[in-house]
Chain A
């Protein structure tokens, strides 16, 4: 058994735009949360790893500093990681996308307690907007930072739950009537994870591991479609949006230094990799504000070593308006 990390955890949180069809459950669009508005979001993700259920819960708060600049902060809680790296980190085996640990031919029972992953910060700045009636083309730059420091034992980095570090990238979103398409390209520069444990076989009696995760590039393509309503009568009309999102990620091999010696990784999970996941999703928006997102993540090409598929996730999000003099009236008229 081995701790499984999430690739997409908080990415489900990555949402702040106000366009139904580009309120992607998994990826951020180029549009931002409105100026002076707070957003809150909660997400739960689960997948089954052999007989073990892996869960992650995350809470996020968003704020629009200006119309073009938004910031987000998120924390997560999961049972994805053990409290320490596996004893046989370098060679722990992976079968398909299943992960086991063996030492002396025995499967070790590693406990995976629910722990807080860290604080994830995200900032996005819209640099380009071309609006038209019922459409737009927009572009934004983003930067992200994570304080996460957990015993993640695969090469693949993920700032939302697995690894600390920095990232950044570029998003372009095109909205036309009921359809939205968004492309995100980004990079991740993860921090190392360092661990020292008592081991009296060594002198001094410590076993030190310095695990450098691979740097990663990701390419994400999202499609959204406003299915219902065809015509609006009021703000209380239920909105249903369909999504198809792809997430491609390429990462380098991990570098491992144990007791000051460079050790070559053997496990596939620590070598370089590339995979694409596919996330079909559906979204319900109530009263033009409260959002419920449901999505399932499947392997599309290769697979991640840091999570199993399918990933079942759901999220809830709402905007909080401050300084508003009064609530908008719900329209009942027919247009």
Chain B
């Protein structure tokens, strides 16, 4: 359940919901089996910095746009810092790329994107990956560490940050993870980091 490219190991973890929190099991070689299990997880919140606006009418249309997403429970906009705090419906799969697209649809850009997730005894490191709702979440530029608790994941990509910031990560964005389950179609890889 492992590896794909460059001889680097990529370990998939399955996520199991325990009420609102998630316990993540890091499974090295048994992972393949577990990948066949129905896996769902819940991001708790996301913070989206919206670039290109000043006034409250702009924040208003951005908020309206974000609220069209069916998995969003609530959006709170800080009208002075232009950071949107999103909470998600319990149990709904969350698509981070759709969130970023809604900001663009409103006429603006995403300047920064973070999301909170509960991790329990997870050893993260560079190129550690997990799978969630058909997408791979791939850590880059992340120091090796064990995490238990709420982790703030910073999303990396053109659609998730400003150009200047993106340049810092661009070189590290090489997809080395893939699903161990060939029947599972993974359409998206999210590059993330833990700061």
Q: Which residues does A use to contact B, with CB under 8 Å? A: 17-21, 23, 31-37, 64, 66-67, 129, 131-136, 175, 177-178, 226, 231-235, 237, 239, 285, 288-289, 291, 319, 321, 323-326, 328-329, 331, 335
- Would you give the 0/1 interface string for B144-173, flagging 1 where the beta carbon is closer than 8 Å to chain A? 000000000000000000100000000000
Measured between alpha carbons, how far is A18 from B59 in the docked complex, in Å?
9
CB of B103 to closest CB in A, whole Å: 9
- Residue from A19, A20, A36, A326 within 8 A of B105 (CB atoms): A36
- The chain B residue sitting closest to A66, CB to CB, is B105
B54 in contact (CB, < 8 A)? yes
B51 near A133: Cβ-Cβ < 8 Å: yes
B138 in contact (CB, < 8 A)? no
- The chain A residue sitting closest to B58, CB to CB, is A18
Interface centre among A34, A135, A235 (most CB of B within 10 A): A34
- The chain A residue sitting closest to B111, CB to CB, is A133
B91 in contact (CB, < 8 A)? no
| Residues 98-154 (chain B) with a chain A CB within 8 angstroms | 104-109, 111
> Which one of B12-20, B31-39, B67-75 is at the interface?
B67-75
A239 near B56: Cβ-Cβ < 8 Å: yes
A178 near B54: Cβ-Cβ < 8 Å: yes
A331 near B76: Cβ-Cβ < 8 Å: yes
Measured between alpha carbons, how far is A34 from B81 in the docked complex, in Å?
21
- The chain A residue sitting closest to B52, CB to CB, is A131
Nearest 10 A/B pairs, CB to CB: A131-B52, A20-B55, A232-B79, A131-B109, A35-B105, A288-B60, A136-B52, A131-B51, A288-B56, A328-B63
Q: 21 A–B contact pairs at CB < 8 A?
A: A18-B58, A19-B53, A19-B58, A23-B57, A33-B107, A34-B65, A34-B106, A36-B68, A129-B52, A132-B51, A134-B53, A136-B51, A231-B80, A235-B56, A235-B79, A237-B56, A285-B55, A291-B57, A321-B61, A323-B68, A331-B77
- The chain A residue sitting closest to B53, CB to CB, is A19
**How many chain B residues touch the partner (CB < 8 A)?**
37
Interface centre among B55, B78, B79, B162 (most CB of A within 10 A): B55
Chain B interface main SS type: mixed
List of B residues within 8 angstroms of A319 by Cβ? 61
CB of A260 to closest CB in B, whole Å: 53
Given contacts A131-B109, A235-B79, A324-B67, A175 and B61 within 8 Å (CB-CB)? no
Measured between alpha carbons, how far is A167 from B85 in the docked complex, in Å?
43
Measured between alpha carbons, how far is A118 from B44 in the docked complex, in Å?
53
B49 in contact (CB, < 8 A)? yes
Given contacts A21-B55, A31-B107, A134 and B68 within 8 Å (CB-CB)? no
B5 in contact (CB, < 8 A)? no
Measured between alpha carbons, how far is A232 from B56 in the docked complex, in Å?
8
B68 near A18: Cβ-Cβ < 8 Å: no
B64 in contact (CB, < 8 A)? yes
B64 near A328: Cβ-Cβ < 8 Å: yes
- Residue from B49, B78, B79, B105 within 8 A of A34 (CB atoms): B105
- Residue from B55, B57, B67, B106 within 8 A of A325 (CB atoms): B67
List of A residues within 8 angstroms of B78 by Cβ? 335
Measured between alpha carbons, how far is A57 from B104 in the docked complex, in Å?
34
CB of B26 to closest CB in A, whole Å: 36
- The chain B residue sitting closest to A232, CB to CB, is B79
Measured between alpha carbons, how far is A235 from B61 in the docked complex, in Å?
11
- Residue from A231, A239, A323 within 8 A of B57 (CB atoms): A239
List of B residues within 8 angstroms of A335 by Cβ? 78-81
CB of A180 to closest CB in B, whole Å: 9
B82 in contact (CB, < 8 A)? yes
Measured between alpha carbons, how far is A235 from B52 in the docked complex, in Å?
18
A35 near B67: Cβ-Cβ < 8 Å: no
Measured between alpha carbons, how far is A283 from B15 in the docked complex, in Å?
52
Interface centre among B56, B63, B74, B81 (most CB of A within 10 A): B56
B105 near A18: Cβ-Cβ < 8 Å: no
List of B residues within 8 angstroms of A21 by Cβ? 54-55
- The chain A residue sitting closest to B80, CB to CB, is A335
List of A residues within 8 angstroms of B63 by Cβ? 328
Measured between alpha carbons, how far is A136 from B82 in the docked complex, in Å?
14
CB of B71 to closest CB in A, whole Å: 10
Given contacts A324-B64, A331-B76, A18 and B53 within 8 Å (CB-CB)? yes
CB of A253 to closest CB in B, whole Å: 41
A67 near B106: Cβ-Cβ < 8 Å: yes
A235 near B109: Cβ-Cβ < 8 Å: no
- The chain A residue sitting closest to B163, CB to CB, is A130
